[in-house]
A and B are shown apart, each in its own frame.
Chain A
Amino acid sequence: MPMVHEDQDRHKGFTRRVLMLTCGKAALLSALVARMYYLQVVEAEKYKTLAEDNRVNLRLLPPRRGKILDRFGQELANNQQNFRVVVVREQTPDLVATLDALSKLIKLSEHDYKRILRDVKRKRAFVPVTVKDNLSWNQVSSIEVNSADLPGASIEVGETRFYPYGADFSHILGYVAAVSEKELTGDPLLELPGFRIGKSGVEKYHDNDMRGQAGTSEFEVNAYGRVIRELARNEGGSGREMILTVDAGLQTFVQQRLMSEQSAASVVIDIKTGDVLAMGSVPSYDPSAFNLGLSSKQWNKLINNQFTPLTNKAIAGTYAPGSTFKMIVALAAMKEGIGATSHTAFCPGFMKLGNARFHCWKRGGHGHVNMIEGLQHSCDVYFYDVSRRIGVDKIAEMANKLGLGNRVNIDLPGERSGVIPTKAWKLANIGEPWQGGETLITSIGQGFVLTTPLQLAVMVSRIASGGKKVIPRITRGYRENGKAIAYEQKEFEDLGIPQEHMRMIYQGMDAVSNNPRGTAYKYRIREEGWELAGKTGTAQVRRITLAERQAGIFKNEDLPWRRRDHGLFVAYAPVDNPRYACAVVVEHGGGSKSAAPIARDILRETQRRDPARTSAISFDAKVDVNNASGDS
């Protein structure tokens, strides 16, 4: 067969096969083009978004927390620059050498080393890792001077909460600390490393107000997360400055004065406005310790302290009011028609009810006493007598009216309601019917009755204001963008107590302090025009047994601290034209003689400073408090 023919045959077959192959290729290439169309036209938007997500990182900029000011503008809480030294791994040839050099300038413990090396390992090479926080100015300058020997180390500036008055304000202001797992709400701001939120006090109550709006910063990042450049920045807004009702000078005085006792609380109120001018609770704690981070040892010490330094006893400590409760019983009795001067009771030192004997604090008795004398001498039998006539529910009604038994709703977290018993209350809570003797116990502020120092101060305010429903507050308003906004206050409503009843109470309380035979005459204010009117109270924390009574052992000083009586004193001043009300409770102080001198000193200092009449921050506008507060 000639080669030419054979090759022609082969060529024909070849051409056919090549055509088939080419069709196959064309089909496959069409698939490529279809896929390109699908990715770059149909799905393009989706992939463009994904590419932007890859490229752009949004970062939150923490806003500046609002300051807290006292009524005159003194800074109670502010933000201070906080210097920290950081290392960047990729900027140092030898990390450990840099740390060693640093440790010659600032103390670094074994623990610090471990933490730093761990953090460095976890994070990318260009991410700064904090070596030490809260550096002193000296440490900062020594690091700056030696920076040539510290490759990779640099100083960064942040902000931390600072409390210029330290422990004196910790119960009012509370403190800020790192966000716990439970407090996460999904707000990304809370997840920022190092972000702090209010954990108690004003810091907690007005946390949302003071937090401000987070700013944002858009960064372009590469695949490894390194920031290439900033694309956009929105600074956000700093939080509100809260303006408190408190007078910083008075608060400091109160807190220092209370420290003569191991555990005590006091509240001073302006009865015209309800402004809390001071609120002391002893012992206290250092609020910045929480911000910097407590060691478990420090924490346990605070938690296990029998004097409960973390509790604001002024609003969260509940105590039997003792004889300070007698004004309530007196007002309730007058309301039920028992005349203050016309009705008398005979006090032989005790009262018999059935087989039980109810003792007066004075063994020998007071003889015949009327209501004013009953207050002046704090005669228990007089109040046994009237309470038996009117019943416990009438007493409770008056107590509730004057602010006891329910939260007074001050703008602070953690306030407790206390207890004012009624017949129904006992049946519901204890499951037993009311006993007649319990009415007598209640009338001298013992038994089930529990009140907070704040409630007692509110009670005195409502009495001293002539029966106005004084509502206490601790925040006057706030400042935002340079404008001071006041929380609007409605005029206090009248409680409907006849003024002649009030006058009887004033007489009785005046006599307690200013009559030589009054129970607190020793602790009167001698300065003319500043005199106080008060009422003593002693709350037993245990029952005095008959054996003890007969053996004559009921001197409190002989008992261990936990079993001593609480000492209470409530007062207002000046006696003629009341403006300030004060309540003092000394836990296990051994009786009212512990509380009365403190109340006297506080009221004297209050009138000397006279914060209610000294010009405070003036406001540009008013706002309804219910609409203004973040988490009320």
Chain B
Amino acid sequence: MNQRVHYLGRHNPEITLGQKIWQLNWGMMLLICLIAAIGLGMLYSAANGNFDPWASKQAIRFGVGFVVMLVVALVDIRIWFRFSYLFYIGALLLLVGVEVMGSIGMGAQRWIDLKFIQLQPSELMKVAIIFALARYFHGVSQEDIGRVTFLFIPLVMVLAPSVLVLRQPDLGTTGMLVMASGAVFFCAGVRLWKFAVVLAAGLAAIPIGWQFLHSYQKNRVLIFLNPEQDPLGTGYHIHQSKIAFGSGGVFGKGFLQGSQSHLNFLPEKQTDFIFTMLAEEFGMVGGLVLLGLYILLMVYGLAISLRSRNQFGRLLAIGLTFNLFLYVFINIAMIMGLVPVVGVPLPLISYGGTVMLTVMMGLGLVMSVWLHRDIKISRHGVHDE
């Protein structure tokens, strides 16, 4: 093996592109393709057995996303390490951008129209924040993590985008940003009592935060707490979703046979409520199969993070895996009435461009961690030995 000294660290084994491709995690890619195929099938069904308007577009996006994933996976992790703050700052600027565009009178927006895709900076931020935190905690020694002063910078890194996203207002994404960041903090070794303090402070802040919620958001929370109070109004979505879900039974009504979905009782069936449709048409069996595939994917992410020999890679992989978990859990819990309807899509399945792109990017990064698992990166980003 050609032992060249890399500027980020010595004694790192250099691998060629060919070897990388050979070592790509094919099992993981198969899982991703399986999940995406299920998604395309459900979008086909959502359009009453048509590829248009959703399945065909989504297939193209998946193709593009797949290429992006591969490219991201093959890029050396040290380059990602170098650009992680830049990436974070870029995403933050885009967030500020939509905020400013909203306030100068173009109407409240969550996306930037790039013609071929409506880019949602908040979705990008879900990846960028993990990047930034992973890089930060990579450079902090175990003793330093114990010190409160070292937590100040990463807290600001989390709070800045969170506040911006909350102002959009997007409760679901804010929650995901905070929780995924929390997971990185947790795995980086931040003391447990500090989480307790933050949690207590957060609970205390709920009555204050309630004031800042929009009326429709308050409604959603109230409906969640008491769904029967308004079965035809705001509670209609979740009520119909539960009917569709429950009526699927163990084996479901069959592909293209979901009466709730096809007769339009089920709202947003191509986006947030697509899992409901799957559960109606394929029953509990279908739901468990998809859930199983997701769990397998997460197990891959977990294994990769444990296998990595650098803290950056470990935190990156675990953070992104946790992100995936949050998507899946919040979405499915939401459509089953376990948590309020907050607008979190099901990754790789729900119709939507940005989410597909960021999820594929995240998976690509996890693969990159895998491919570069044996590369060591020094704490300060430069070789010091």
**Chain A residues within CB distance 8 Å of chain B:** 3, 6-7, 9-11, 13-15, 17-18, 20-22, 25, 28-29, 31-33, 35-37, 39-41, 43-44, 46-48, 50-51, 54-55, 220-224, 228
Q: Which residues from A are CB-within-8-Å of B336?
A: 32, 35-36, 39
Q: Known: A10-B142, A47-B242, A222-B264. Contact between A18 and B318, CB under 8 A?
A: yes
Contact B385 A32 (CB under 8 A): no
Q: Does B333 contact A (CB under 8 A)?
A: yes
Q: Which residues from B are CB-within-8-Å of A18?
A: 187, 302, 305-306, 318
Q: Return the chain A residue nearest B322 by Cβ.
A: A21
Contact of A6 among B141, B183, B314 (CB under 8 A): B141
Contact of B246 among A7, A20, A29, A39 (CB under 8 A): A39
Q: Does B263 contact A (CB under 8 A)?
A: yes
Q: Does B186 contact A (CB under 8 A)?
A: yes
Contact A223 B263 (CB under 8 A): yes
Contact A51 B284 (CB under 8 A): no
Contact B242 A39 (CB under 8 A): yes
Q: Known: A32-B333, A35-B338, A40-B287. Contact between A7 and B376, CB under 8 A?
A: yes
Can you offer 7 A-B residue contacts whose CB atoms are under 8 A? A3-B376, A6-B142, A25-B322, A25-B325, A32-B291, A36-B284, A50-B243
In the assembled complex, how far is the CB of residue A504 from the closest CB belonging to chain B, in whole angstroms? Answer: 81
Q: Tell me what chain A mostly uses at the interface: helix, strand, loop, or mixed.
A: helix
- In the docked arrangement, what's the CA distance between A13 and B191, Å? 11
Q: Which residues from A are CB-within-8-Å of B329?
A: 25, 28-29, 32
Q: Does B248 contact A (CB under 8 A)?
A: yes
Q: Known: A9-B142, A39-B336, A40-B283. Contact between A33 and B288, CB under 8 A?
A: yes
The residues in B between 277 and 318 inclusive whose CB is less than 8 angstroms from any CB of A are: 279, 283-284, 287-288, 291, 295, 298, 302, 305-306, 309-311, 314-315, 318
Q: Return the chain A residue nearest B338 by Cβ.
A: A35
Contact B314 A14 (CB under 8 A): yes
Q: Does B354 contact A (CB under 8 A)?
A: no
Contact B249 A44 (CB under 8 A): yes
In the assembled complex, how far is the CB of residue A562 from the closest CB belonging to chain B, in whole angstroms? Answer: 61
- In the docked arrangement, what's the CA distance between A221 and B264, Å? 10
Q: Which residues from B are CB-within-8-Å of A222?
A: 263-265
Which 3 interchain pairs have the tightest Cβ spacing?
Answer: A47-B246, A51-B247, A222-B263
Q: Does B250 contact A (CB under 8 A)?
A: yes
Contact A41 B318 (CB under 8 A): no
Q: Does B357 contact A (CB under 8 A)?
A: no
Q: Which residues from B are CB-within-8-Å of A32?
A: 291, 329, 332-333, 336, 338
In the assembled complex, how far is the CB of residue B275 from the closest CB belonging to chain A, in whole angstroms? Answer: 10
Q: Which residues from B are CB-within-8-Å of A25?
A: 298, 322, 325, 329
Q: Return the chain B residue nearest A22 by Cβ.
A: B302
Most chain B beta carbons < 10 A, residue from A31, A47, A48: A47
Q: Return the chain A residue nearest B265 by Cβ.
A: A223
In the assembled complex, how far is the CB of residue A492 from the closest CB belonging to chain B, in whole angstroms? Answer: 64
Contact B263 A47 (CB under 8 A): no
Q: Which residues from A are CB-within-8-Å of B376?
A: 3, 7
Q: Which residues from A are CB-within-8-Å of B176?
A: none
Contact A54 B311 (CB under 8 A): no
Q: Known: A3-B385, A10-B142. Contact between A29 and B247, CB under 8 A?
A: no
Q: Return the chain B residue nearest A13 by Cβ.
A: B189
Q: Which residues from B are CB-within-8-Å of A220?
A: 259, 263
Q: Does B379 contact A (CB under 8 A)?
A: yes
Contact A48 B142 (CB under 8 A): no
Q: Does B260 contact A (CB under 8 A)?
A: yes
Q: Which residues from B are CB-within-8-Å of A37?
A: 284
- In the docked arrangement, what's the CA distance between A48 and B329, Å? 25
Q: Which residues from B are CB-within-8-Å of A28?
A: 329
Q: Which residues from B are CB-within-8-Å of A228?
A: 263
Q: Does B44 contact A (CB under 8 A)?
A: no
Contact A14 B311 (CB under 8 A): yes
In the assembled complex, how far is the CB of residue A449 from the closest CB belonging to chain B, in whole angstroms? Answer: 65
In the assembled complex, how far is the CB of residue A240 from the closest CB belonging to chain B, in whole angstroms? Answer: 40
Q: Known: A6-B142, A18-B187. Contact between A40 and B378, CB under 8 A?
A: no
